[in-house]
Amino acid sequence: MKRLTLPLALAAMLHAGLATAATPVAPSDAKLQYTGRIDFAQADAPVISWPNTSIAGRFTGTSFAIKLDDERGRNYFNVFLDGDLSAPLVIEAKQGEATYVVAQKLAPGSHSFLITKRTEGEEGATRFRGLELDDGAGLLPPGPRPKRRIEFFGDSITSGMGNEGALNGRDDAGKDKNSFLSYAAIAARQLKAEMHMTSQSGIGVMISWFPFTMPDFYDQLSAVGDNDSRWDFSRWTPDVVVVNLLQNDSWLIGRDHKLQPEPNDAQRVEAYKQFVQRIRRLYPQAYIVCALGSMDATRPGSPWPGYVTAAVERMRKENGDKRIDTLFFEHTGYGQHPRVHHHQANAAKLTALVRARMGW
């Protein structure tokens, strides 16, 4: 994928030329199309924290700038113009408020944009402060939203940790984390579905690499750590839910024995089942896919796929749940987080299953 990172000094220099003749667009403008768990408590400073949260719209004019107020200076954003999803401009947000000029000298006429958060809550939150367009330009009515909806509950695999890193390089750099190219986001686009990505690197069902788990985290409005914010689930209901968890449990329990007393097989199945049942109570009509992989929790001989299968079979038998399936992404032997080509293969497998079950 072609990438262009906007150096902060260049962005500031370009903005100096734009600032004398610019039309501001407030974050509260009704023509902006937001997707994701976003905190709108302050209408003109909505807070974005979850991976792949997006803002879309259409505008007139020949230039386009974005105003962000970033909490920590660790977030990255994709900006796609005119529907070209193969060539994002990548913003490396600096700490505090700044304006980033994404494009100048565009062809006159109408254009479209899509902004997505590449990074996660662990990189901090960002307040969206609006847009700046040419003098006299403005937003146009947005396109229709997808009618289908899909939500993902997952860990670093779902978030796209390291997916743009070199095959033989590190996979924990913020610049290489791109939730837009995770299997989850790829599958959602293939299915023409609007998506929410409720994920956090390092999280597990029974134990995480930090002091909170997905059962503590899944209902938050803010993705920044363990907090008291609460998402209103009535605001957005998915048709399909994908749960891809237990990879971190498999390391911290099965490999490192960090959870004591260590849960036995039955307790592991029960903990996973209880979380999925929480999701079922929230979304009684949704089709749920209990997935796992494609890191070493699905390696040959691993017991963890069996825990997922046992939990699903119990939900089918004990609760009469007929709208639930399992899906396992095979471990290829690659020793780090999946790269983009792994995500593409996993997305194809998930897309095929959902199409078959949902008629999409």
CA distance 25 to 32: 9
Instruction: Please tell me the predicted confidence (pLDDT) of residue 255.
Output: 96
pLDDT of 351 reads 98
Residue 6: its pLDDT value, please? 46
Spans in the chain with pLDDT lower than 50: 1-20
Cis preceding-peptide flag for 294 (omega within 30 of 0): yes
pLDDT, residue 21, reads 54
Decide if 23 contacts 100 (C-beta within 8 A). Answer: no
Q: What is the pTM of this model?
A: 0.94
